[in-house]
Structure 1
Amino acid sequence: MSFDLKKESDVKEYIEKLGIEYRFGCYSEKKPEVCHLLGDYLEGIKKDFEKAAKVYKSTCDDYGYAKSCYKFGNYSFLGKGKSGSKGDPRSAYNYYEKGCNLNDSESCLHSGLLLVSRSMPKQMDRDVPKGLEYLTKSCDMDNGTACFYLSGMHISGVHKNPESTTDIDIKSQKANDFIIQKDMKKAFDYAYKACELKNMYACANLSQMYARGDGTTKDESQADKYKKMAVQMQEELKKVQPTLQFQQGVKD
């Protein structure tokens, strides 16, 4: 049956049939990728976050589907999908870590950020070396945001006790006060990769690094090049309207 998606009645019928198709593929055929699509459908179309959360959780727990682990991690962190529920960073981290172990780059990014954050949730213990490991894994999987954060960590270094440091006294600190040493060459390399992966902020930093000769040879032409790239990305971002896309039907 064909649908005229310009007609409201046909759109409604198409959406309902899509939901039936996803439920069949998930519950009858037990396809984890379709269960994840069902979660997206419940979240984006039906706005039923409680059911979406249950689908993401079971798809992660029962099938080890990495993207669902990441999505349920987000729900846990925000306290989403359960009436009156507060965010649970520990539960979120557990699901992010599970997704990371299943090689989902976004899961690695978020588990890493939770571990290295200066303002750690009280439910979490700061573990910079482990967080660095997860962020590096995410960057190695071409996650530009992870590469950008790694660059930032190497620009200033990571102190063992960030609460006791300020921008004024940071220069007086000793090398053994840092978990990660300042390393502008590594910072440049990570910024370069992040910019190549279309991270706008990394391109802006890269421009500054070329302008100052930080971690690389000073080069005004390269500084100008990456500044223009960052500005162009910013302009493109303003034009983009966020949309949720769905797979058109279920492929075998």
Structure 2
Amino acid sequence: MQLQRKIAGLVLMLGLLAYQPAQASADDAQAELKAGMAAAKDGKPEAAAPLFRKACQLGSAEGCYQIALQLDFGDGQPKDEAAAAGFYRKACDGGELRGCQNLAVDYELGIGVDRDYAKAAALYTQACDGKVAKGCTGLGYLNEVGRGVPKDAKAAVALYQRGCDAGDPAGCTSLGWLYDDGIGLSKDHKKAAQLYRQGCEGNDARGCYNLGIMHGEGDGVGKDIDESLTLYRKACKLNYADACYTLATTYDFGKGVEKDESEAAVFYRKGCDLDEAKSCFNLGWDYDNGVGVPRNAKMAFDLYLKACEAGDPKGCYSVGSAYERGVVVGENKSKALTYYRKALTLDPSDEDRPKIERAIERLKG
């Protein structure tokens, strides 16, 4: 009996010894995380980074998530999307479901990892089941388009609803789109407008933009050009490139407002900064012709080139024309032909195609 008590006592003592380092490690991880969050809050991301890393090493899933965010966005350390994905994985494996959500986005878009829709769907499911609203919205989109899971519009409706109800504005906007287009349920423009507004009020730019279109056309809501412009402005401010372009063309051509080419140029600039190809081309044309901005051939060429690189056939044609004529850049028929040919591959309009084809034939001859 005495021997048994000794053995029992030894087992208990060993258990306590094992528990104490584990508890200390957890306490240390929490201390490192707390110090990192304080440094980040004070605007010192460089100081926060090693603290988050240490917290992650000590087993803090949130520490792994925070260092992943820093690596993902280049905040306090060099941007490294592959490393960020690795830390999102550690966070997810440790039970931080926001890590699962962000890793799902990486797999969906091929950011830092090879694109894999099936893995994205599995991770979105994990996040959604854990009440991460964006996970439900992300999984809803995969169901809507049939990537990584079978295409299922009704499942998309249910998942967008879950995302919206759980507080994700993008979920509300996405559900609004299904009502707007009658996908998976009966078309209902009034319901779509309500959901777009809900999304917009949560600063989902696409919600603001879509509601702006509805007010501009009087579709599901009263026609109100001023409200439409207000919504486009908010969406543009939230970096929605299509809204910036729409605002620009509204002022450029005086569609329901007084024509203002200078104001148009401002919004073309914002759209171009967001890599919206048509905005870059139109702003280039403005500089080429001194419309709304001072004439500047070099600026025009640079904008045409950016438009071309973003996939705009008019931009490529204009770059080709500059090389053919030797405007701003040295005359170079070979480069001109290259850009004309590129323009032709970018599905130009029926109006522009003959002009491009003539330019190619001219230089080939």
2:226 paired residue number: 90
Percent of paired sites with the same residue:
28
Greater CA drift, 196-205 or 126-135: 126-135
Letter in 2 for 1:97: R
1:166-177 pair list within 5 angstroms: none
Q: Give the structure with the higher percent helix.
A: 2
1:58 paired residue number: 198
How far apart, CA to CA, are the structure 2 residues paired with 1:188 and 1:144?
14
2:169 paired residue number: 32
Q: Does 1:42 align with 2:179?
A: yes
How far apart, CA to CA, are the structure 2 residues paired with 1:64 and 1:98?
8
Q: 1:121 to 1:141 in 2, by over 3 A?
A: closer
1:106 paired residue number: 242
How far apart, CA to CA, are the structure 1 residues paired with 2:190 and 2:316?
39
Say if 1:89 and 1:121, in contact at 8 Å, map to a contact too: no
- Higher relative contact order, chain-length normalized (CA < 8 Å, sep 6+): 1
Letter in 2 for 1:115: Y
1:216 paired residue number: 329
Deviation per CA, 1:135-186: give whole Å up to 9, x if none.
111111111111011011122222xxxxxxxxxxxxxxxxxxxx42322211
Q: Does 1:17 align with 2:130?
A: no
1:6 paired residue number: none
Say if 1:39 and 1:53, in contact at 8 Å, map to a contact too: yes
Letter in 2 for 1:68: G
Q: Does 1:73 align with 2:212?
A: yes
Letter in 2 for 1:38: L
SS at match of 1:180: coil
How far residue 21 of structure 1 moved from its aligned partner, in angstroms, is 2.1
Q: Does 1:187 align with 2:320?
A: no
1:203 paired residue number: 316
2:136 paired residue number: none
How far residue 91 of structure 1 moved from its aligned partner, in angstroms, is 2.2
How far residue 96 of structure 1 moved from its aligned partner, in angstroms, is 0.7
Q: 1:188 to 1:31 in 2, by over 3 A?
A: same
RMSD: 2.4
Q: In terms of Rg, which structure is larger?
A: 2
**TM-score (norm. length: structure 2):** 0.50
1:138 paired residue number: 271
Unaligned 5+ residue runs, structure 2?
1-149, 351-365
1:129 paired residue number: 262
Say if 1:67 and 1:104, in contact at 8 Å, map to a contact too: yes
Number of aligned positions between the proteins: 198
